[in-house]
Amino acid sequence: MPGGVEALHAMTEKQPSSRDIIYFLNCRDKRALKKHARSVTIYQDHFAGLALMASIGQLPPYHYARHHAEIIPEDIHWTPEELEAFGKSKVGPLSDGRAIKFASKVDQVFKVRKLLNAHLFYTPDHSLWHIFCYDSKELRDQGNHWKEGSHLHYISFLWPEYNLAEAWGRVQRGDLNFSGKLHVRFRKLSTDYSLR
């Protein structure tokens, strides 16, 4: 069999592991962290497991917080009159201009809204903190701004231009545009369900 034991070893070395995420929490060297971010893929099930552990106090010394927000541009909000006109419409093509406007705005909402998600791991004294964040559109394999597809953004206490209060405050205001943030590949599920 071509490759034999070496090929099997190489295959198992590449198996996804929650260690890839934990490295972010343990690393104290920004250069090493950047290299790590380029080489790993974070899997949804591993990330969810880590967040759950932190949220129930099982990831000392870290505590956990999260923030989720839906941001819809003001010009897309419909009026009560448009909603009422749509509600009174009969089955079939819309004829009332207000109902048509409502339907158009609903369609537009799904195209332009932002569903922001942020996960914060932090120590009680705020000396160590890590934010993984994304707009749900960034989880698409195609049609997002990063050439490698689905991804999360990451920043931490290793970014001297930010402190935790400022960074988390920005997240809560819907601003995930941190300069120098790392892009980390993200996939829905691993094939391994253990938290190795």
Q: Is 196 domain-assigned?
A: no
State the Cα–Cα distance between residues 110 and 45, nearest whole angstrom.
Answer: 26
| Residue whose entry in the numeric block shows the structure tokens 């839906």 | 70
- Give the pLDDT of the chain (196 residues) as one tens digit per residue: 344 334 333 433 445 577 889 999 999 999 999 999 999 999 988 999 999 999 999 999 999 999 999 888 888 888 899 899 999 888 888 888 999 989 988 888 888 888 899 999 999 999 999 999 998 877 766 667 777 778 899 999 999 999 999 999 999 999 999 999 999 999 887 555 554 4
The dihedral through the CA atoms of 19, 36, 170, 150 has a sign that is negative
Q: Is 192 domain-assigned?
A: no
Total tally of structural domains belonging to the chain: 2
Q: What is the DSSP letter of 106?
A: H
Neighbours of 57 (CB within 10 A): 10
pTM of the model: 0.77
| One-letter amino acid of 147 | K
Residue 83 and residue 31 share a domain: no
**Among 85, 111, 137, where does a domain finish?**
111
State the Cα–Cα distance between residues 59 and 121, nearest whole angstrom.
Answer: 9
State the Cα–Cα distance between residues 88 and 99, nearest whole angstrom.
Answer: 9
Residue 65 and residue 84 share a domain: no
52 is in which domain, residue-wise? 15-71+114-187
State the Cα–Cα distance between residues 17 and 20, nearest whole angstrom.
Answer: 6
Residue 128 and residue 179 share a domain: yes
Residue 126 and residue 166 share a domain: yes
**Among 111, 126, 159, where does a domain finish?**
111
